[in-house]
Amino acid sequence: MTSHTITAYATDHAERVLELALDAWAPVFASFQTVLGDDLYERVHPNWKQHQARSVRAALDTNETWVAIADGDVMGFVNVVFDQTERSGEIYMLAVDPRAQRQGIASALTEFALDEMRARGLTLAVVATGGDAGHAPARATYQKAGFTGCPQVWYAKQLT
């Protein structure tokens, strides 16, 4: 396991977080392309990197985020939505640089987020992830953390 520390996100982390998120999620979008086929994939995700970059920036601007630092570099992040009214928290985004995957960073970020939720008196934690092969590592991380999966299917059809 890589030695790392988890610290609050700072705006000077933004470009590195964006870079590692896109690198980490490239296999997910490749998996989507396999599942959907080329034509439907191009319709659903024509510019996935641009869309994801906007989504990451918006999440960083809106929600609380923490980063994992290893060897002086940001190697992962977790972005969390806290809902005090519902007493729930959502792990909204989590990514680890592919060079640092399978070294315990995703699990550490998950546990950190759960500890933050507990510290705020929240009683429910949720996270959503895909059922495709590209999301298998994410599912394993969340199952290891004790989450219970509830299968959901998303359908798409290109109209001609």
Which CATH number do you get for residue 64?
3.40.630.30
155 within domain boundaries:
no
20 exposure class (CB count in 10 Å sphere: 0-12, 13-18, 19+): buried
Give the Cα separation of 140 and 137 in Å (integer): 5
Give the Cα separation of 11 and 68 in Å (integer): 14
18 within domain boundaries:
yes
Q: What is the pLDDT of residue 98?
A: 95
Q: What is the pLDDT of residue 2?
A: 58
The range of the structural domain enclosing residue 38 comes to: 5-144
pLDDT band at 132 (very low <50, low <70, confident <90, very high): confident
158 within domain boundaries:
no
Q: What is the pLDDT of residue 57?
A: 98
160 within domain boundaries:
no
DSSP 61-85: HHSEEEEEEETTEEEEEEEEEEETT
Q: Average pLDDT in the 133-146 region?
A: 91
Q: What share of the chain is helix, strand, coil (3-state, %, to 5)?
A: 50, 20, 30
Provide the domain count of the chain: 1
121 within domain boundaries:
yes
